[in-house]
Amino acid sequence: MNVMDSHFFEGAFVEAGLSAAVGAQDADLIILNTCSVREHAENKVLSRLGVLTRLKEVNTSLKIVVAGCMAQRMGGEITRKFPAVDLVLGTGRIADIVALTTAKGGAGCMVCTDGMGDAGPERYPYARAGAAHAYVCAMRGCDNFCAYCIVPKVRGRQVSRPAAKIIAEIEALCADGVKVVTLLGQNISAWGRDLGEGRGLAFLLEAVHEVAGLEWIKFLTCHPRDTDTAVFEAMRDLPKVASGIHLPAQAGSDFVLRAMKRGYTRREYLSKVAQLRDFVPQASIVGDFIVGFPGEREADFNDTLSLLEETGFRGSFVFKYSPRPGTAAAHLADDVPMDVKARRNNDLLALQRDVSLAQNRSFIGRRVRVFVEGPSRKNPDELTGRTLGDEVVIFAGSRREAGSFAQVDIFDASAAVLFGREVP
Ligand code: SAH
Ligand code: SF4
């Protein structure tokens, strides 16, 4: 979501006649687009602001903007700590960034954290510069209240964009050369509920599937309770729709799931996965886990390990629990020591590596269609791309292939990536 908002910022400024700076030293305006999900992310921003304060002592005309969730959460506190900041732009005012930063007026900082929840821009002049993949906002905010999560507080209640607007945007993108879109929402599985038309994510996927020129549709993120079988049916029946799903479990023990207020039990999670595999046997499932939630005992953590194995996640994002002010869990004692959190984090990742490796090796000998993203980071003579199920594929090729599709024969795999040869 933040990457998408950053694309919007860049696009909106380019449209207003500005151009991207080479680096911080060269910039007239620096925007820190922030995340509040964990304290660690916030601390990184605070230390960056210290560095930028010193840069502004040299370049006194530099403008510094703090945007996003931290801006929304901390508001004026940021400017009290960092007087060098010119604008604090909350999540409800994202669309106003150009007007607010170019407004003439006195010195001093503006704090804009009002606005209706997470109001996104009506129109998205993304900085896409020939990119063939684009993030498209399907909804903002979230109506769930998971005990650990600050998202509903800083991004507000769920607001779905009407299907017609989403489709019009994707049609325009495809006319511009986009071939792959990723539909975004904090809880995209609840898309449409607030629109009161009785239509959900499966309807949206069907409607987007009709857009001419579009090749692939990916979507993020699904809450297990809110994801219905109509979505699995769409994954099975609509060839453009992703064969992979991001379906965070967060934990494997009923005690922890209840304390997290996730709204499902371990058994319900596993039966959701079984339903998915009935529809799409090869579906690749990516999860999120939090280790060290208040009260998590070793037995609870073992349940998380076994859930990971039983589900057969292709990959997982694992986070150490971080208490967030204003959430329900902030009132609970953060009683799992840091060294225990770190060990559980490592144990879960180690198990995930084994599970991922086994899954990736099952691709060896298969031919897959890959959307080419660009040169691989490690070797400029190799390309990196992704399958419809979001598996990362590395193969030799020319950087001119970026933004196109390739057929690739897989001959090897690690836990993280598949290695292949392009079919001429
Ligand atoms: N909407 C998504 C999650 C958005 S936040 C969902 O419901 O699945 C992304 C991930 O950050 C979460 O899935 C969770 O694993 C992690 N996370 C959120 N709050 C956290 C916290 N307080 N401490 C540690 N990890 C957290
Ligand atoms: Fe946060 Fe996701 Fe739960 Fe919403 S569904 S409160 S975004 S973890």
* Any ligand 1 atom below 6 A from CB of 38: yes
Q: What is the mean pLDDT of residues 136-152?
A: 95
Phi then psi dihedrals of residue 375, to 5 deg: -60, 145
Rounded to whole angstroms, how far apart are CA atoms 171 and 169? 5
The pick from 220, 223, 246 for probing ligand 2's pocket by mutation, whose C-beta has the most ligand atoms within 8 angstroms, reads 223
Q: Give pLDDT, residue 262.
A: 98
Q: 53, exposed or middle or buried, with CB in 10 Å at 0-12, 13-18, 19+? A: middle
CA of 381 to the centre of ligand 1 (A): 36
Q: Give pLDDT, residue 115.
A: 66
Q: What is the mean pLDDT of residues 101-106?
A: 68
Q: What is the mean pLDDT of residues 288-314?
A: 98
Given a cut of 80, whether residue 114 has pLDDT beyond it is no
Q: Give pLDDT, residue 49.
A: 97
Query: In whole numbers, what is the pLDDT of the chain averaged over residues?
Result: 93
Atom of ligand 1 nearest to the CA of 327: 22
- What's the token pair of residue 9? 């910022």
Task: Give percent above pLDDT 70 in the chain.
Answer: 96
Show the DSSP H helices in 159-212 as ranges. 163-175, 201-209
CA of 221 to the centre of ligand 2 (A): 9
Question: Which residues form ligand 2's pocket by a CB distance below 6 Å?
Answer: 142, 144-146, 149, 151-152, 186-187, 223
Rounded to whole angstroms, how far apart are CA atoms 347 and 353? 10
Given a cut of 90, whether residue 342 has pLDDT beyond it is yes
Given a cut of 90, whether residue 53 has pLDDT beyond it is yes
Out of 129-133, 229-233, 386-390, least confident range: 129-133
Amino acid type, 64: I
- Residue 228: closest CA among 176, 180, 175, 275: 275
Task: Domains for the chain: give ranges and CATH numbers.
Answer: 2-112 (3.40.50), 130-242 (3.30.750.210), 245-362 (3.30.750.200), 367-422 (2.40.50.140)
Q: What is the mean pLDDT of residues 221-243?
A: 97
* Any ligand 1 atom below 6 A from CB of 293: no
CA of 37 to the centre of ligand 1 (A): 7
Q: Give pLDDT, residue 128.
A: 62
SS3 letters across 325-347: CCCHHHHCCCCCCHHHHHHHHHH
Rounded to whole angstroms, how far apart are CA atoms 292 and 321? 5
Given a cut of 90, whether residue 237 has pLDDT beyond it is yes
Backbone CA torsion sign across 148, 153, 155, 158? positive
Atom of ligand 1 nearest to the CA of 324: 22
Ligand (nearest to CA of 153): 2
Band of pLDDT at residue 119, cut at 50, 70 and 90: low
Question: Which run of H or E residues covers position 77?
Answer: helix 76-81
Burial 355-394 (b: 16+ CB within 10 A, else e): bbeebbeebeeeebebbbbebbeeeeeebbbbbbbbbbbb
Please indicate, yes or no, whether the overall pTM of this predicted structure exceeds 0.85. Answer: yes
The protein residue with its alpha carbon nearest to ligand 1, atom 7, reads 223
Given a cut of 70, whether residue 82 has pLDDT beyond it is yes
Rounded to whole angstroms, how far apart are CA atoms 165 and 23? 35
The pick from 1, 145, 186 for probing ligand 2's pocket by mutation, whose C-beta has the most ligand atoms within 8 angstroms, reads 186
* Any ligand 1 atom below 6 A from CB of 158: no
Atom of ligand 2 nearest to the CA of 149: 1
